[in-house]
Copies of this chain bind each other. A is one copy, B any other.
Amino acid sequence: MATIKEVSHLADVSAATVSRVLNGNVAVAAETRARVLAAVERLDYHPNTFARGLVTNRSGGVGVVVNDIASPFFGTMLKGIEGVAESEGMHLMISSGHANADAERNALDFLLRCRADVLIVHTEALSDAEMVAFASRGTPLVLVGRYVAELASRSVYLDNEAGGCLMTEYLLAQGHTRIAHIAGPSALHDARARLVGYRQALENAGLDYDAGLVVEANFEEESGRRAAQQLLARRRDFSALFAANDQMAAGALSALREAGIDVPNQISLVGYDDVLLARYLYPPLSTVCQPMEAMGRAAAQLALAELRGESGEGVRRTFEPTLVIRNSVVARC
C-alpha cells in the first residue's frame, strides 16, 4: 500500500501538499494539484484510515443497533441507512440488541468503543433515561422507531397510535363492531401505542372497550397462534381480528384455519407492518405499512447532519402509517 510520502516524492511536493489536494479545502496551485493527482492515480494511493482517524477522530462508520439483523423489517431499514451512508463514503457497523437490555447496552458500548461516528439505534429494552444518557456521550445518536421526548429532535418514528386507529377505523367502516385484538408485548412502546389507537378508534365510534377481546402476545408467529386459540376458547364472538403485527396475524391465521374457520368469510383478519409475508398469506393480508426504508434514510440523514453540526431541519422525523388493503377483510352489513 502506497503511503502519502511516496506520493509526495513522486509528485515532488511535501506530504502536506498531498494532504491538502486530497482534502481539498486549502488553495493549491492548479499545476501542483494536477501533479499530485497524477501521482495518486499512478500509485493507486488510498489514505490510511487509521492514520487519518487518529488525527481527525473520524472512523467513517455509521453504528447501527437493531433488534435482529435477520428480520426483514430491520433489513429494510438497514437498506435505507446503507444507501445514504454509502453515498457519503461511510460504512455500516452493525450490532444486534435482541430486544434485551443487556445486549442493547453491550451493542451500544461496543459501537462507541469502535468509534462509530454516529449511532442509529432501534432499542426496545433500554429505558428512556438510559437512551438520553447514551445520547449525551458525545457521539451523535438518532433513535429510529421510537419516540423519546427529551430526544424529540433525534427521534425518527412512526405514529403507531395513528396506525392502530387507522386500521380499527377501517374495520369499523367495513361494518365490524366486535373486533378482537392481539396486542404486542406491553413492555414495548410501539405495541402499547397500537393498542391505544385501537381503543381510541372504538371510543370514537362510541363502542365500549371489552378487555375480553384483547390478548397480549409477543410479536412472534407462535404466540399469535396461541393468542387466537385463546380468543376462540373464550367464546366471545367477534367478526374481525386485528393482530398488532403481521407475524402474529400469520400465526392466528393458521389457528383459525385449524379451527375450521374461513378467513375472511367468517372472521376478517388484519395485521400490521406489511412485511413481505403479508402479501403471500392466503388470503393476502390487509395490513398497515410502515415506510421502513424511508425511515432508515431519514435517520441516517439526521445523524449525518448532526455530525456535521447542522440542524437537520429539512429531514422528516415522523412518518405516517398507511393502510394496505388486500383480501383478508369482508364487509359486514
- Give A contacts to B, CB under 8 Å: 46, 48-51, 53-54, 57, 59-61, 68-72, 74-76, 78-79, 82, 86, 91-96, 110-111, 113-115, 221, 250, 253-254, 257, 276-277, 280-282, 293
Chain B contacts for A91, CB-based, 8 A: 93-95, 110-111, 114
Whether A70 and B59, one on each chain, are in contact in the complex, defined by CB atoms closer than 8 angstroms, is no
Contact A75/B71 with A94-B91, A282-B282 known, Cβ cut-off 8 Å: yes
Residue with the greatest number of chain B CB neighbours at <10 A, chosen from A91, A250, A253, A277:
A91
How would you classify the secondary structure of chain A's contact residues: helix, strand, loop or mixed? helix
Copies of this protein, total: 2
Find A93's partner among B50, B92, B277, B282 (CB 8 Å cutoff).
B92
7 smallest beta-carbon distances between A and B, as pairs = A282-B282, A50-B53, A70-B75, A50-B54, A70-B79, A250-B280, A70-B76
Minimum CB–CB distance from A66 to chain B (whole Å) comes to: 10
Contact A70/B60 with A53-B49, A91-B93, A276-B277 known, Cβ cut-off 8 Å: no
Whether A114 and B60, one on each chain, are in contact in the complex, defined by CB atoms closer than 8 angstroms, is yes
23 CB contacts below 8 A, A to B, read A48-B54, A50-B51, A50-B53, A50-B115, A51-B54, A69-B79, A70-B75, A70-B78, A71-B72, A72-B75, A72-B276, A75-B75, A82-B96, A91-B95, A92-B92, A92-B93, A92-B94, A94-B94, A221-B280, A250-B280, A253-B280, A254-B280, A257-B282
Bound together, the chains give a CA A252 to CA B149 distance in angstroms of 47
Minimum CB–CB distance from A49 to chain B (whole Å) comes to: 5
Chain B contacts for A69, CB-based, 8 A: 75, 78-79, 82
Bound together, the chains give a CA A281 to CA B283 distance in angstroms of 9
Find A110's partner among B76, B86, B95, B115 (CB 8 Å cutoff).
B86
